[in-house]
């Protein structure tokens, strides 16, 4: 066997081994990713059921359970963070992600309605924000607006921020959009019942809150 032929064979063997290694690694990572996402979906389903049960308990004894409402806000926010991770991993158009987003949106709407009931029945004055965004590539400032609201929610744990994908095909969400009279100019906000559109900066966003509203929300010590 000539030196050239031997070198060609060696190169071919190395190429095949490398290709096989890469294929195995890709397959392993894909299987691990699928397993991770399946576990995540199971956990989100459990959390969804837990939150729904908490809602029922709050409805049964609203004023007696008012203190538990803040804990519920934190749980709902944690669920939203896991949903964001699922979006990053699978994409916003993935059927799993859309189904989870629909479940989460329904929980948000229910919490929003319970918050209003608590306010009327118990004399509480919660600070609420309805935030409408789009993942369809037609909202250049939606990411910045989302980050700003995440900062405010972290700084003021009792601030209730409800984020909705405006384009989500969900009957309850469409009804909410109709009731609040939100147009398709995004990002859109309903802050304590007042509508506004567009995002420029965190400072300007804070100015849209009623005077002293954020100060009444317990600031985080972190």
Q: What is the architecture, at CATH level 2, of domain 52-207?
A: 3-Layer(aba) Sandwich (3.40)
**Residue 53, pLDDT above cutoff 90:** no
CA-CA distance, 222 to 73, in Å (whole number)?
17
pLDDT tens sequence across 84-112: 777 777 777 878 788 888 888 888 888 88
**Residue 5, pLDDT above cutoff 80:** no
Return the pLDDT at 100. 81
194: phi then psi, degrees, rounded to nearest 5 = -105, 125
Return the pLDDT at 188. 96
Q: How far is CA 117 from CA 7, 63, 110, 122, in A?
A: 79, 10, 11, 8
Query: Would you place residue 172 in the very low, low, confident or very high pLDDT band (cuts 50, 70, 90)?
Result: very high
3-state secondary structure of 136: coil
Is 80 or 27 the better-scoring residue by pLDDT? Answer: 80
pLDDT tens sequence across 138-160: 999 999 999 999 899 888 877 88
Return the pLDDT at 119. 80
**Residue 90 near residue 180 (C-beta atoms within 8 A):** no
Average confidence (pLDDT) over 111-126: 80
CA-CA distance, 15 to 11, in Å (whole number)?
6
CA-CA distance, 203 to 184, in Å (whole number)?
24
Query: Would you place residue 163 in the very low, low, confident or very high pLDDT band (cuts 50, 70, 90)?
Result: very high
Q: How far is CA 29 from CA 90, 114, 216, in A?
A: 14, 42, 47
Query: Would you place residue 15 in the very low, low, confident or very high pLDDT band (cuts 50, 70, 90)?
Result: confident
The mean pLDDT value of the chain amounts to 78
Average confidence (pLDDT) over 53-57: 72
Structural domain boundaries in the chain: 52-207
User: In which residue are the tokens 């989302």 written?
Assistant: 146
Return the pLDDT at 218. 46
CA-CA distance, 209 to 191, in Å (whole number)?
6
Beta bridge partners of 144: none
Which contiguous run of DSSP H or E holds residue 133? strand 128-133
């Amino acid at each position: 066997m000539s030196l050239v032929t031997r070198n060609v064979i060696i190169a071919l063997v190395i190429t095949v081994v490398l290709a096989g290694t890469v294929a195995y690694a890709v397959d392993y990572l894909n299987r691990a990713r699928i397993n991770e996402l399946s576990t995540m979906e199971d956990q989100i389903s459990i959390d969804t059921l837990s939150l729904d049960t908490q809602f029922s308990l709050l409805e049964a004894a609203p004023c007696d359970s008012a203190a538990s409402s803040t804990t519920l806000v934190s749980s709902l926010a944690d669920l939203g963070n896991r949903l964001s991770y699922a979006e990053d991993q699978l994409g916003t158009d993935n059927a799993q992600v859309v189904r989870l987003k629909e479940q989460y949106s329904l929980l948000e709407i229910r919490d929003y309605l319970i918050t209003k009931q608590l306010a009327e029945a118990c004399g509480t004055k919660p600070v609420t924000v309805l935030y409408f965004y789009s993942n369809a590539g037609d909202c250049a400032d939606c990411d910045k607006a989302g980050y700003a609201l995440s900062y405010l929610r972290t700084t003021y744990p009792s601030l209730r921020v409800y984020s909705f994908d405006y384009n989500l095909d969900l009957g309850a969400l469409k009804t909410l959009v109709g009731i609040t009279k939100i147009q398709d100019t995004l990002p859109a906000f309903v802050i304590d019942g007042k509508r506004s559109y567009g995002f420029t900066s965190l400072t300007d966003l804070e100015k849209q809150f009623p005077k002293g509203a954020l100060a009444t929300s317990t600031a985080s010590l972190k």
